[in-house]
Amino acid sequence: MDFIKIDISGPVAVITIDRRDALNALSPQVLDELSQALDEVNTEGIRAVIMTGAGKKAFAAGADIKEFPSFTPLQAQDFALKGQALSKKIEAFPKPVIAAINGFALGGGCELALACHMRIAAETAKIGQPEVNLGVMTGFGGSQRLPRLVGKGVALELLTTGRAIDAKEALRIGLVNAVAAPDELLPACQEIAEQIAEKAPQAVALTLEAVNHGLEMSLEEGLNLEARLFALTFTTEDMQEGTQAFLEKRKPKFTGK
């Protein structure tokens, strides 16, 4: 892979977009490599993933604008579908994916972060959907995921003005879960990832499924789904181990089985 680095330390994988001369802009090749990287870290030993950008300046400054002028409408649609497929793959990933937003997360970069299960921003981050400045609109899911995360009114303001917000505002509107000093960003994400890594992997994966699918359903259907997934956890060895460990007043040793 030319633009993606994978660093594995114990149960945590860090996927880094490394195309610094273009502020980690998302060309079709970068999107393909990100998808490949997710496949590579979808192994039993990995329990959580951190996604970030190389350098101090950008998480990803958006889709690669240099590709745009030559696109036909059909090529533009294919590009949007490629970005959306990657966003869906991140969202449906069976291990939590944490976006470590280390700088600009604009356009497609913001949309990738929105597809992650949680977001932590450096104090220096700038986040936004500036597509309207270019005469285009979001294509990787921003018009759908941003309102679901921050509410329709705030999302529409950001989407129609193209205004980029700082980390403090992102925290206030619920776009990010927490803000960290730039040097503390990866350690903060690592700490969350390690907490997750200590839990029962299937219970974590089923929780992701319940929340992701449940939010697209009526409350009644979502509650039904939850009851069925709750029942599924009772088929796992980890459920026996977790409850037994509690009763024996010891720390559980989860195996993912």
Which residues form the catalytic set? 111, 131
The size of the interface with ligand COA (CB under 6 A), counted in residues, is 15
The reply on whether position 140 binds ligand COA by CB under 6 A is no
Q: Is residue 113 a contact residue for ligand COA (CB under 6 A)?
A: no
* Distance between CA atoms of residues 34 and 177, nearest Å: 23
- Out of 6, 8, 22, 178, which residue is the one contacting ligand COA (CB under 6 A)? 22
Rg (CA), the chain: 19
For residue 131, state whether it binds ligand COA (rule: CB under 6 A).
yes
Determine contact, residues 194/186, Cβ cutoff 8 Å: no
- Judged by CB, which is closer to ligand COA: 131, or 238? 131
Q: Around Cβ 92, how many Cβ atoms within 10 Å?
A: 12
Per-residue binding string, ligand COA, 67-106, x by CB under 6 A, is -------------------------------------x-x
Check binding of 53 to ligand COA (CB under 6 A): no
* Cβ(53)–Cβ(40) below 8 Å: no
Q: How many Å from the N-terminal Cα to the C-terminal Cα in the chain?
A: 32
Stretch that binds ligand COA, among 17-25, 71-79, 200-208, 235-243 (CB under 6 A): 17-25
141 binds ligand COA (CB under 6 A): no
Using CB under 6 A, which of 3, 13, 52, 62 touches ligand COA? 62
Least gap, CB of 57 to ligand COA (angstroms): 7
Please pick, from the candidates 23, 150, 186, 197, the single residue that binds ligand COA as defined by CB under 6 A. Answer: 23
CB atoms within 10 A of CB 219: 8
Give the number of other Cβ atoms within 10 Å of residue 130's Cβ: 21
Sheet of strand 104-106: strand arrangement? 58-60, 104-106, 126-128, 165-166
Residue 178 and residue 123: Cα distance in Å, rounded?
10
Q: What residues line the site for ligand COA (CB under 6 A)?
A: 22-23, 25, 61-66, 104, 106-107, 130-131, 134
